[in-house]
Amino acid sequence: MLRRYYLIRRNLSTWNGWWEKVGPAPSDPTFGITDAFLGDPSPNKINLGVGAYRDDQGKPVVLQCVRDAAAKISGSEFMEYLPIGGSLTLVEECVKASIWGEIRCHTGEKVCWSPSSFWHSHHSIWREAGVPQRTFHYYHPECKGLDFPALMDDVKNAPNRSVFLLHACAHNPTGVDPSEEQWKEISYQFKVRNHFPFFDMAYQGFASGNLDRDAQAIRIFLEDGHLIGCAQSFAKNMGLYGQRVGCLSVLCKDENQAIAVKSQLQQIARPMYSNPPVYGALLVSTILSNPDLKSLWVKEMKGMVDRITRMRTALRENLEKRGSLNWEHITNQIGMFCYSGLTPEQVDQLTRNFHIYMTRDGRISMAGVNTHNVDYLANSIHEVMKSKEEASEEEGKESWLRAGRRPRESDRTGLSISRRSASGVDGDEAELRPGRTGTVQQNGCMKREKTKTKKKKKRWISAHDFMGS
């Protein structure tokens, strides 16, 4: 009996090693910031990491239109499974909001081109789906605006029938969008190359406060006759972060193709989540289909946008009154985020010395800025920038002294953004990339013109290369 017990215990013990080779996964770069913020006891701490709206007291907001919609559906007896394709009412209302017909689709080359400045989850989604990725130029770090000439070069040089992931409005993380004319040029070149545009529309109404204006890019592509895809979300513009409500819409050339593609989408959804949750779908469809609730939603959304716009202005003014370089890009950018231009080292210094938390690429969630912390935030950024500028200037002096001469005023090194023209491009110190000059074009970035410098061979940066850098 004892021997049998020993053998059983021995056999059971062999199962204890199931997880020995499982190591910890890397923490999420955004939610890891929130964890660190919550563990910080400082009364001055500020969380500028997660893109979730806060009021001027720093508190989460439940919109009144959502409360009213919740009251309307509180007695609902429908708690059955939704169809695999989701709520038909929600789908119809989403289509109206994004200004087009029915759910349809398009098939193209199985490679996705994403902006070089990206929301990291996009790359994770395509990677886990087994879709090869490339990046196209988007953000110009010198002028902190759109690098439109480089973007157009990439669109023209990409293989015909490529799939491009585009942000319909309020680009995350940069807050930089093409102008209407630039969208028209992009659409035209997509038509020439027969590319497929797939739009991520997570911020409709949150960029300008106007639903129609924020759907402008999609309308332009539709008017030009493109087949397009759109991933639509109501997390931001309705404050339904925990409900995860959205709609995938794709456009095909005819009804038969639409039926076939819809069946394929349903087959993909079946083993993933099978049927979408009903409650969030009921909330959104109730708001969108009720004229009074929709009008209230638009009004409340405009209020959120206006508060963020005021905070952009306040942050810029507080920085510039301290003599802290040129911060025009804060008010030029739109949406929830500001791509500040802070380096990872400066972000670390802000966290370490001032208890200010943001992603290491310098992205600031403007929703976390309010009238109570904007002065402290501006002063902290100014101190970090000043220490960097002073260190750079001192390094420049030492280099000249080592060379046996005194530095002149024109030799001061400072930050590259310290002497900037009104257009946002550095003056006579602007360094030109091969094949470019400093001529200013729309959105404050440089036009691409040929120079005598030899143009380097272009290398497409893969998502793996970019994420590992």
pLDDT at 360: 92
CA dist 86 and 245 (Å) reads: 10
CA dist 449 and 105 (Å) reads: 38
Total structural domains within the chain:
1
CA dist 241 and 342 (Å) reads: 28
The 3-state secondary structure of 207-237 reads CCCCHHHHCHHHHHHHHCCCCCEEEEECCCC
CA dist 425 and 416 (Å) reads: 10
Q: For residue 430, what are the contacts with CB-CB under 8 A and spacing of at least 6?
A: 142, 438, 446
pLDDT at 2: 52
Please answer whether residues 97 and 245 qualify as being in contact, where contact means their C-beta atoms are separated by less than 8 angstroms: no
Q: What are the Cα distances from residue 304, in Å, to 98, 207, 274? A: 20, 10, 34
**Number of neighbours of residue 192 by Cβ within 10 angstroms:** 11
The backbone torsions φ and ψ at residue 174, rounded to the nearest 5 degrees and listed phi first, read -85, -25
Nearest-CA neighbor of 353 among 49, 58, 42, 34? Answer: 42
Task: Indicate whether 11 belongs to any domain.
Answer: no
Please answer whether residues 322 and 382 qualify as being in contact, where contact means their C-beta atoms are separated by less than 8 angstroms: yes
- State pLDDT tens for residues 356-413: 999 999 999 999 999 999 999 999 999 999 876 655 555 555 554 555 555 554 444 3
Q: For residue 402, what are the contacts with CB-CB under 8 A and spacing of at least 6?
A: none
* Model confidence at 432: pLDDT above 60: no
Residue 89 structural domain: 64-293
**Number of neighbours of residue 469 by Cβ within 10 angstroms:** 6
CA dist 298 and 288 (Å) reads: 10
Q: For residue 70, what are the contacts with CB-CB under 8 A and spacing of at least 6?
A: 283
User: Tell me, what amino acid is at 262?
Assistant: K
Beta strands at 145-146 and 139-140: parallel, antiparallel or unpaired:
antiparallel
Task: Indicate whether 428 belongs to any domain.
Answer: no
The better pLDDT of the pair 305, 461 is held by 305
Counting Cα atoms < 13 Å in the Cβ hemisphere of 69 gives 26
Please answer whether residues 50 and 35 qualify as being in contact, where contact means their C-beta atoms are separated by less than 8 angstroms: no
Give the rounded percent of residues in the chain with a pLDDT score beyond 90: 54
Which band of pLDDT confidence, cut at 50, 70 and 90, is reported for residue 326? confident
Q: For residue 434, what are the contacts with CB-CB under 8 A and spacing of at least 6?
A: 451, 453, 454, 455, 456
Task: Indicate whether 179 belongs to any domain.
Answer: yes
H or E element, residue 114: strand 112-115
H or E element, residue 146: strand 145-146
Task: Indicate whether 443 belongs to any domain.
Answer: no
- State pLDDT tens for residues 86-138: 888 888 888 777 654 333 333 344 567 778 766 667 777 777 778 888 889 99
Task: Indicate whether 207 belongs to any domain.
Answer: yes
pLDDT at 107: 39
* DSSP result, 33-48: HHHHHHT---TT-EE-
Residue 104: CATH number of its domain: 3.40.640.10
Please answer whether residues 85 and 91 qualify as being in contact, where contact means their C-beta atoms are separated by less than 8 angstroms: yes
Task: Indicate whether 374 belongs to any domain.
Answer: no
Q: For residue 408, what are the contacts with CB-CB under 8 A and spacing of at least 6?
A: none
* Model confidence at 336: pLDDT above 80: yes
- State pLDDT tens for residues 208-259: 999 999 999 999 999 999 999 999 999 999 999 999 899 999 898 899 999 9
* Model confidence at 435: pLDDT above 60: no
Which band of pLDDT confidence, cut at 50, 70 and 90, is reported for residue 77? low
Task: Indicate whether 299 belongs to any domain.
Answer: no
Task: Indicate whether 306 belongs to any domain.
Answer: no
Q: What is the CA radius of gyration of the chain?
A: 26
Question: Which residues are tagged catalytic?
Answer: 119, 200, 236
- State pLDDT tens for residues 2-41: 555 555 555 555 556 788 889 988 877 778 899 999 999 9
